[in-house]
Amino acid sequence: MITATFVLFVVFSITAHPEFVEINGLGHSGEEWKSRIIYQIITDRFDRTDGRNATCDLRNYCGGTFKGIQNRLDYIKNLGMNAIWISPVVANIPNSYHGYAATDLYSINSHFGSAQELKNLVKACHEKDIWVMVDVVANHVGNTNEDFSKINPFNKEEYYHKKCIVTDFTNQTELEQCRLYNLPDLDTENPWVRNQLAEWTRWLITTFDLDGLRVDTVRHVHKDFWRFYVEAVPTYLMGEVFDERIDYLKGYAEVMPGQLHYPLYYTLIDVFARRNSMYALRSTLDNMKSSGMDVALLGSFVSNHDNKRFLNMDGDWNILKSAYAVILLGESIPIVYYGDEQGYAGGDDPNNREPMWGSGWNEAHHLFSFIKKCASARAKIKVNDQLIERYVDDSFFGWSRGCVFCGVTNKGSWAGDVSRRITSHPFSEGDQLFDLISGARIAVGPDGFICTLKSGCPVILVKI
Ligand SMILES: *[C@@H]1O[C@H](CO)[C@@H](O)[C@H](O)[C@H]1NC(C)=O
Ligand SMILES: *[C@@H]1O[C@H](CO)[C@@H](O)[C@H](O)[C@H]1NC(C)=O
C-alpha cells in the first residue's frame, strides 16, 4: 500500500513538474519570453575579476568574464531586468573579443572562463529568476586564412559557399551566398552542415541550461535553412534582420517569429534623435499591427553593439528617456543595452562597446533609476494588454497599456514644459493619478487631465 501510494505520488509529481511538461521544447518558448526584460551584455566588457585596471584597447580583449557578470547579477536585478543576452561564448580567432568569428563551436572561449564557469553563471542567474540568452551564429565562422582544418566541426572547404564578398547589400543572393566582411560563409543548403548546426545548438542549450538564443545575421542565410532550424531547435529564438522595412522583416518573422524590432529602432531615431514628427511613431505601430506579426515576440531596443549608442546621436537625457519609455512600456520584449543606464554615449563600433567598469555600476544614476521605474511600471501590465494610442501630434505621443498611461515628447530638455489635455484614457473621473517618474499627483476631472512633461521628461501615470 505504501509502495503503491509512493509510486502514484512519483507519477503525479513527474506529470505536474513543468520541466517534464516541456519535454518537447528546449529552454523557454516565445510565449514565456514575452514577460521578460532583457539586459544585453558584451561579456568581454562587463566586469573583470582579476583586479587589474589596464588601459583597454576596444579592438581587443578587455578582460571581462562570465564570473564578472555573475558578480553583478544584483545590479542587473536591481535595474529591473529578468533576462540577460550575452555575446557568443565559443572559441574564436585571436582578438575576437565580440565572439562573432568562431573557430571551435564545441569549446568555450577561455578568455571568458571555463565551461564550468559558464554553467555557474547560468545557475546563479536561475537562482535569481534571470533567464539567459546566448548569441549564436549560423551564417559564418572566423577567417583562418582559408585553412578550414582550424574550424571545428566545419573543417573542409566543401562546407562553405564559394568565395565572394558582399558588396551590394540590396542583392539578396549576394547577402546569402557571399561573405559578410570576408567571414567564410557556411553552405547552409548542405544537409550535413544544417544538421551539424542544429545538433551543436541543441548541445549548447542542454549543456548550459540556456533559456533562449539570439540569432545573428538572419538575413544572410536562406529562409529554407531557418525553417529547418526553427523546428530542430524548439526554443525562443530572437533573430537579427538588420533592416528597417516592415514587409522585409515580416518575411523572416513568418519563419522565425521572434526578431529584433529594427523598424521600431529606426522610428525611434527618426522621431527622437532627429526630432521628426511623432506621427511616424503612430505609423510604425499601426503598420506593425496590420502586418499580422506578433509584435509581442519581437525584441525592441534603443541601442546595441552594432549601432552608435542613442545618446551619441542625441546627447539629451530626456530624449534617451523618451525612447526607453516607448520600448519599456510597449508591446515587444524590451532590451536594455549595458551602459545606456550609466549615460554611455559611444559612437560607431567599437566605441559603443565601452568597458562597464568605468561606470562603477552606479545604482544612483538618474538613468538607472528611470529605467528601473519603467520596468516596475511594466510589471503592472499584463502581457496581453494592447497598446492603445491616446493622443498624438507632431511633438507628443500618449498611450496606455492596461492601467498605465505614458506620455512622451520629442522636444527635449530645452523647450520648457510640454502639456496636453488627455481626454481618452483608462481612468475614471475622480481618480487620483501618480507619476512614477516625477512623483507628481494629478486628479482626473470630467474633461480628463492635463499631462505635463516637465522639460520634456516622460510621464508614466498609474492610479493611486
Ligand atoms: C583605473 O583606471 C582609471 C583610468 O585610468 C582611473 O581613473 C582609476 O582611478 C583606476 N582605478 C584603480 C582602482 O586603480
Ligand atoms: C546579385 O548577385 C548575384 C551574385 O553575385 C549576381 O549573379 C546577380 O547578377 C546580382 N543581381 C543583381 C540584380 O544585381
**Nearest-CA residue for atom 14 of ligand 2:** 171
**409, containing H or E segment:** strand 404-409
Query: How far is the C-alpha of 242 from the C-alpha of 262, rounded, in Å?
Result: 6
**Smallest-distance ligand from the CA of 360:** 1
CA of 317 to the centre of ligand 1 (A): 26
Q: Looking at domain 390-463, what is its CATH homologous superfamily?
A: Golgi alpha-mannosidase II (2.60.40.1180)
- Distance in Å, CA 325 to ligand 2 centroid: 42
The confidence band for 25, taking pLDDT boundaries of 50, 70 and 90, is: confident
Other C-beta atoms lying within 10 Å of the C-beta of residue 178:
19
Query: What integer is the mean pLDDT of 139-152?
Result: 98
Q: Where are the domains of the chain?
A: 4-384, 390-463
Q: Is 174 in the pocket of ligand 2 (CB under 6 A)?
A: yes
Ligand 1 centroid–CA 358 distance in Å is: 8
Model pLDDT, residue 56: 87
Mean pLDDT for the stretch of residues 206-232 = 98
Closest ligand 2 atom, residue 172 Cα:
1
pLDDT at 1: 36
Residue nearest to atom 13 of ligand 2 (CA): 171
Strand order, beta sheet including 212-215: 236-239, 212-215, 131-136, 83-86, 38-41, 333-337, 299-301
Angle of CA points 99, 102, 105, to nearest 5°: 110
CB-based burial of residue 400 (10 Å sphere; 0-12 exposed, 13-18 middle, 19+ buried)? buried
CB distance 173 to ligand 2 below 6 Å: yes
For residues 254-274, average pLDDT: 98
Ligand that comes closest to the CA of residue 173: 2
Average pLDDT of the chain, as a whole number: 94
Per the CB < 8 A criterion, the answer to whether 186 and 176 are in contact is no
Contact between 125 and 73 under an 8 Å Cβ cutoff? The reply is yes
Q: Please give the distance, rounded to the nearest whole angstrom, from the Cα atom of residue 61 to the centre of ligand 1.
A: 18
Q: What per-residue confidence (pLDDT) applies to 24?
A: 62
pLDDT of 16 above 50: no
Query: Best of 169, 173, 180 to mutate for ligand 2, by most ligand atoms within 8 A of CB?
Result: 173
Catalytic residue among 117, 185, 187, 216: 216
Express each pLDDT in 220-262 by its tens digit. Answer: 999 999 999 999 999 999 999 999 999 999 999 999 999 999 9
Question: If we measure between CA atoms, which residue out of 354, 373, 333 comes closest to residue 457?
Answer: 373
The whole-angstrom separation of Cα 330 and Cα 404 is 11
pLDDT at 410: 98
216 part of the active site: yes
Ligand nearest to the CA of 167: 2
Confidence of residue 10 (pLDDT cuts 50, 70, 90): very low
Whether 4-384 and 390-463 share one fold: the answer is: no
Identified catalytic residue from 176, 240, 243, 340: 240
Ligand 2 pocket test, candidate residues 163, 165, 174, most atoms within 8 A of CB: 174
Q: Are 262 and 228 in contact (CB under 8 A)?
A: no
| pLDDT score, position 17 | 40
From the CA of 337, how far away is ligand 1's center (Å)?
A: 24
Tens of pLDDT, residue by residue over 73-96, are 999 999 999 999 999 999 999 999
pLDDT in tens, 292-325: 999 999 999 999 999 999 999 999 999 999 999 9
Please give the pLDDT value at position 52: 66
Q: How many residues comprise the chain?
A: 464
Closest Cα to residue 401, out of 422, 429, 377?
377
Question: Does 106 score more than 60 pLDDT?
Answer: yes
Runs of H (alpha helix) within 151-222: 172-177, 191-208
CA–CA gap between residue 290 and residue 252 (Å, rounded):
16
The CATH label, of 3.40.50.720, 3.10.20.30, 3.20.20.80, 3.40.50.360, for the domain at 4-384 is 3.20.20.80
* pLDDT band for position 54 (cuts 50, 70, 90): low
The CA-to-CA distance between both ends of the chain, in Å, stands at 56
Decide which of 4 and 112 is more confident: 112
Report the separation in Å between the CA atom of 366 and the middle of ligand 1, taken as the mean of its atom positions: 23
Distance 53 CA to ligand 1 centre (A): 6
Residue 288 clears pLDDT 90, i.e. is over it: yes
Q: What is the pLDDT at residue 22?
A: 41
Atom 2 of ligand 2: nearest residue by CA position:
174
Q: How far is CA 192 from the centre of its chain?
A: 31
Residue 11 banded pLDDT, cuts 50, 70, 90: very low
The minimum-distance atom of ligand 2 relative to the CA of 177 is: 4
pLDDT at 2 over 50: no
Ligand 2 atom 10: residue of nearest CA: 171
CA-nearest of 34, 82, 27 to 295 is 34
pLDDT band at 333 (very low <50, low <70, confident <90, very high): very high
Decide which of 434 and 12 is more confident. Answer: 434
161 lines ligand 2 (CB under 6 A): no
pLDDT tops 90 at residue 387: yes
Query: Which residue's C-alpha comes closest to atom 4 of ligand 2?
Result: 174
pLDDT of residue 50: 83
CA 313 from centroid of its chain's CA atoms: 20
CA distance 364 to 260: 30
**What backbone torsions phi and psi does residue 433 show, to the nearest 5 degrees?**
-110, 150
Please report which ligand is nearest the Cα atom of 179: 2
Query: Does the pLDDT value for residue 97 go beyond 50?
Result: yes
Ligand 2 proximity of 171 Cβ (cutoff 6 Å)? yes
